Amino acid sequence: MRISTAFQFDNYLGSIRTAQESYLKVQRQIATGKKYDAGHEDPLSTRLTMSSRTLKSRFEQFDKNLRGVKDYAGNGEIALTEMGDLLNQANVLAIQGASSTIDTNTAQSLANQVSDLQAKLIRLGNTQGSQGQYIFAGQKSDIKPFSVTGTTVTFAGDTNSIRAEVRSGEYMEINDPGVSSVVTDIYDKLETLKSNLQSQNVIAISDQSLKDLKLMKDQVTGLRAVIGSRMQTTETLTNDNTRRIDEFTKEISDHEDVDLAEAFVRYSQTETAYTAAMQVASKGMQLSLMDFLR
């Protein structure tokens, strides 16, 4: 059976078109670094990529939340450490004031130093995080929590917890609501110490103020321990998040990104196939035309 020239031409063009599509596809892959341009080209990889992207986004949000925990915990730990140092200084002043040999001027000088410690305490109570938030103000983090009127300290924040999702369905408390009452108590205890120093009440300093300062120091130490534990947990979760995010990134890359070394090999192969298809078609069309002339 004689094969028509039109049929031969269609075959040649089909071969050229197929070779050209493969050739151009590899060119696009090398240029973009991606295996495909549209999802319908590889529905399975597209579906797996979307799933990996969704999970990666979730863990990136968890990571962002953990950075918030670190911000509160880190600044809170620094503030509480300085409060502990402040109480140590107050303790030294109280011991000096408990001596019956000091005169009125010395007692007043010690009282003035206690006033300086009270001012520093309020500054520490109003510690701000990296976003300008007041970390000891509870959920009213945009309001300066501590202020002083006369000899009375006022707390303008609240004692509500701020919680962040650090795993699916798992939440961690970011702030430390208990700090507000501790700051107020320390201020009041320092006010009492100052009054005892000014009146040179040696017995009250020995029997009351020194014990109060120790109690306050223990409470600050306890709060620091809570924050320290939170920071350790946060570090562990952050490391795990980094690992999971890296895993999802690799999965997305495996589904989407082309292996360039393999792509260059295919580029050479498809280029050869395209050139060969063109040559075959060229020769075939010449023969067909000569046959027609004969």
pLDDT at 17: 66
124 exposed, middle or buried (CB, 10 Å; 0-12, 13-18, 19+)?
A: buried
What letter represents residue 71's amino acid? D
Q: Which residue has the higher pLDDT, 254 or 78?
A: 78
What are the angstrom distances between the C-alpha of 154 and each of 140, 178, 186?
Answer: 14, 15, 13
pLDDT band of residue 38 (cuts 50, 70, 90) is low
4-15, pLDDT tens digit by residue? 555 556 565 655
pLDDT at 221: 96
239-285, pLDDT tens digit by residue? 999 999 998 888 877 766 565 555 445 556 666 655 665 666 566 55
Domain 65-252 CATH class label: mainly alpha
Contact 84, 217 (CB under 8 A): yes
pLDDT at 201: 94
pLDDT at 137: 96
Contact 131, 141 (CB under 8 A): no
Contact 52, 251 (CB under 8 A): yes
pLDDT at 49: 78
pLDDT at 1: 44
Structure tokens at 228: 């320290």
At a CB cut-off of 8 Å and minimum separation 6, what does 137 contact? 143, 144, 145, 156, 157, 158, 180
pLDDT at 100: 76
202-243, pLDDT tens digit by residue? 999 999 999 999 999 999 999 999 999 999 999 999 999 999
Asked if pLDDT for residue 92 goes beyond 70, the answer is yes
**Angle in degrees, 0-180, between the axes of helices 179-198 and 104-125, rounded to the nearest 10:** 170
pLDDT at 48: 78
Give residue limits of the domains in the chain.
65-252
119-175, pLDDT tens digit by residue? 999 999 999 999 999 999 999 999 999 999 999 999 999 999 999 999 888 999 999
Coil, helix or strand at residue 137 = coil
293 exposed, middle or buried (CB, 10 Å; 0-12, 13-18, 19+)?
A: exposed
What letter represents residue 114's amino acid? V
